[in-house]
């Protein structure tokens, strides 16, 4: 079930940056110390992200958290 436009755009941004980094969902999840299904849910906008999740993703992608915000 899709969430708000912001949640959808955030998921698209995560996917875009993950692909630019050449990472699979599983690889990103491992770097972020998250479950692969969590990454899938974020990218499909079926799960909202907390600030802690944004921080984990940013560290794993070696970017500033603000780069994840659409």
Domains and CATH numbers, the chain: 5-58 (1.10.260.40)
Taken in order 8, 54, 22, 37, is the CA torsion positive or negative? negative
Sequence-separated (6 or more) residues with CB below 8 Å from residue 23: 31, 61
**pLDDT at 1 > cutoff 90:** no
| H or E segment to which residue 52 belongs | helix 51-61
pLDDT digits (tens, 9 = 90+) for 31-65: 999 999 999 999 999 988 999 999 999 999 999 99
For the whole prediction, is pTM greater than 0.85? yes
Taken in order 53, 57, 62, 65, is the CA torsion positive or negative? negative
Tokens for 70, please give them: 């659409």
């Amino acid at each position: 079930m899709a969430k708000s436009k912001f949640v959808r755009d955030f998921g698209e941004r995560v996917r875009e940056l993950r692909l630019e980094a050449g990472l699979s969902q599983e690889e990103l999840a491992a770097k972020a110390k998250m479950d692969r299904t969590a990454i899938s849910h974020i990218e499909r906008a079926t799960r909202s992200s907390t600030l802690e999740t944004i921080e984990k993703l940013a560290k794993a992608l070696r970017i500033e958290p603000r780069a994840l915000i659409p």
